[in-house]
Structure 1
């Protein structure tokens, strides 16, 4: 569970099931082996186990992959606060890679900073976990656009 973060009220009582279903439709997350661990109003946690096939030349998980899970953590945190029947889309993000993504797994924690009607500002921290020691490896700030009455594809 998150700490020291604002608590937001979801606009959709079924937000958690809706977010989980949306995550399941993300073929990119399936491709890299990411799992959605936790969904709370305005907060999401994603886990990515280490796999050799998603590393770069030094054996660290590739920065592009780190960006993928950070983007999704922030995006799904935002998605948890939109109305039923709405969806979200990333407008931009800034990612700082602050340490190598080296460990048995990565954990991305995304949270909403400001839930606007049209634009939602989020942040995500990505941790590399090795021998149960958590090392911050990336920090992201993101802007998400809420798309009212724009449902996601279902097939």
Structure 2
């Protein structure tokens, strides 16, 4: 199991230029799961005012990978995931919760729910995803 904590996980997120561009932040990181939040601003919406599917997909992908990192450590990549869009995401914030379902020494299977938070604070699940991540060797 990784002894990798939330501050180090936040450093990893901050080192991802695309995550910085989107404005993603980790609000929870541990064995019980991971929460990744994205404030919804106009640049992240599609023509009807809903969060773009690519933003939802990014949230699922990164939440799944960070959840896998709670058991595998930081040197991992997503090996694949599937996502189901359940309803349009219209609100002020996206929150992706992910947790590890099963893991081995080199790979972890995770599930994620993506929740949209409305201006009044109400929450609705707008997408669900499942995916896996595996260890990689990084040569520098």
* Equivalences for residues 85-104 of structure 1 within 5 A: 87-104=75-92
The answer for unaligned runs of 5 or more in structure 2 is: none
Aligned match of 2:103:
115
TM-score by length of 2: 0.91
Question: What is the deviation of 1:42?
Answer: 5.5
TM-score by length of 1: 0.83
Q: Is the 8 A contact 2:10 2:25 kept in 1?
A: no
Q: CA RMSD in A?
A: 1.7
Q: Is the 8 A contact 1:96 1:138 kept in 2?
A: yes
Matches of 1:71 and 1:42, distance apart in 2: 18
Aligned match of 2:131:
142
Query: In 2 relative to 1, CA 144–14 (structure 1 residues): closer, same or farther, beyond 3 Å?
Result: closer
Aligned residues: 139
Q: Could you list the structure 1 runs, at least 4 aligned residues long, displaced by more than 2 angstroms after superposition.
A: 11-18, 150-153
Aligned to 2:116, what secondary structure does the other structure show? strand
The answer for unaligned runs of 5 or more in structure 1 is: 1-10
